A = this chain, B = another copy of it.
Amino acid sequence: MSWLSQSIMATKGVAGGKAGTHHHLSEEKQGRYHYVLGGFAEPVLEVEPGDVVEVETRDAFEGQITSESDKPSEKLKLPYLNPQNGPIYVRGAQKGDVLAVHIKSVLPRGPQPAGTTCLISEFGGLVGTANTAVLNAPLPEKVRKVRVDETGVYWSDRVTLPFEPFIGTIGVAPEIEAISSLQPDYYGGNMDLPDVAPGAVIYFPVQHEGAYLHLGDCHGVQGDGELCGVAIEIPSTTIVQVDLIKDMPIAWPRLETDEKIMTIGSARPLEDAARIAYRELTRWMAADYRFDELEAYMLLTQCGKLRLGNMVDPKYTVGASVSKKYLA
């Protein structure tokens, strides 16, 4: 019996983790990609809890950066960045429910080299930005194209990185807002958290009828913080299974693997993201694992793990986790 059959998704979800219909959300079916997560666009797909969706995502630049001699400032046009597939309407989903998304696979798609990273003016973790406004001259723009396949990310003659793909942006629609897909928040969004990877289930608090799942922005590999702001961006074929847990109010996204449970916070400054994630984790431990909240607080002091997703987006994202071996 796999851990997934024991996960919240399986034990509380409608579908019990069993696969329903398989949908194919191709580029053609998607048509226009979206640059916000919201409830204003028409759903491109309607699914039942338990259904599987195979999604053709575009890279964060929608394929506009094709060569190392391209200049991002000429190719990219804010706010039309980070294209999202969706919205996917999940039948029965209502505010107060949890949408569980089991990530089954994330594979590079299309002609090689499939991976792009770059330096974008006034964007990134070690430069002045639109938010951390300085008078210093910006860094030069710079594009790097790299070969990515299931065997690795071929950075240079000297360095080969592992292929460790994940979904950079995934989330549900806010209740009444439509927010840039560059932003992460309580509904998910551009978290850029490497744990959102094949094998994990991620849980979102549904805000809008039908949940309106969006996803895109897959990465071939990424370090903690997505330092320069641009991971190894790839177009992908991503397969997820969605499920629904009724009447389970959570405040922020959660994630589960066979090894750990994780809560995800997004905020500025970075300590606020960490506070959110760790407070949610104490609450989860109290609600589902019979810990007193202060006991959980003191125990996490000794064994909590913190993963930095991004330190470059409009809000920074961290995941706080605890090993399942301490939750038995």
Query: Which residues of chain A have a CB within 8 Å of any CB of chain B?
Result: 35-36, 38, 40, 79-80, 117, 119, 124-128, 130-140, 142, 144, 153, 155, 158-159, 161, 174-180, 221-232, 251, 265, 267-272, 274-276, 278-280, 282, 293-294, 297-306, 308, 311, 316, 326, 328
Given contacts A135-B139, A177-B177, A177-B179, contact A228 B125 (CB under 8 A): no
- In the bound complex, do residue A126 and residue B279 qualify as a contact, i.e. CB atoms below 8 Å apart? yes
> Which residue, of A180, A227, A267, has the highest number of chain B Cβ atoms within 10 A?
A227
- In the bound complex, do residue A311 and residue B225 qualify as a contact, i.e. CB atoms below 8 Å apart? no
Which residues of chain B come closer than 8 Å to A176, judged between CB atoms? 35-36, 79-80, 178, 180
- In the bound complex, do residue A225 and residue B274 qualify as a contact, i.e. CB atoms below 8 Å apart? yes
Query: Can you add 18 more A-B contacts, CB < 8 Å, to A125-B275, A131-B275, A268-B268?
Result: A36-B176, A125-B271, A126-B135, A126-B282, A127-B134, A130-B276, A132-B272, A133-B265, A133-B275, A134-B275, A140-B294, A142-B298, A153-B302, A222-B302, A227-B300, A228-B300, A229-B301, A232-B302
Which residues of chain B come closer than 8 Å to A134, judged between CB atoms? 126-128, 134, 136, 275, 279
18 contacts between A and B (CB under 8 A): A36-B177, A40-B40, A80-B176, A119-B297, A125-B271, A126-B134, A127-B135, A133-B276, A134-B136, A177-B178, A225-B301, A225-B304, A225-B306, A228-B300, A228-B301, A230-B301, A267-B268, A269-B270
> Which residue, of A134, A155, A251, has the highest number of chain B Cβ atoms within 10 A?
A134
Chain B residue, CB-CB nearest to A179? B177
- In the bound complex, do residue A40 and residue B178 qualify as a contact, i.e. CB atoms below 8 Å apart? yes
> Which residue, of A229, A230, A302, has the highest number of chain B Cβ atoms within 10 A?
A302
Chain B residue, CB-CB nearest to A305? B224
Alpha-carbon gap, A278 to B227, bound state (A): 8
Alpha-carbon gap, A251 to B274, bound state (A): 27
Alpha-carbon gap, A139 to B134, bound state (A): 10
Which residues of chain B come closer than 8 Å to A136, judged between CB atoms? 127-128, 134, 136-139
Chain B residue, CB-CB nearest to A142? B294
Closest Cβ of chain B to A124, distance in Å, is 8
Given contacts A279-B134, A282-B135, A301-B226, contact A274 B231 (CB under 8 A): no
User: What are the nearest 3 A-B pairs in CB distance?
Assistant: A269-B269, A223-B304, A136-B136
Alpha-carbon gap, A231 to B155, bound state (A): 39
- In the bound complex, do residue B297 and residue A135 qualify as a contact, i.e. CB atoms below 8 Å apart? yes
Which residues of chain B come closer than 8 Å to A230, judged between CB atoms? 301
Closest Cβ of chain B to A120, distance in Å, is 11
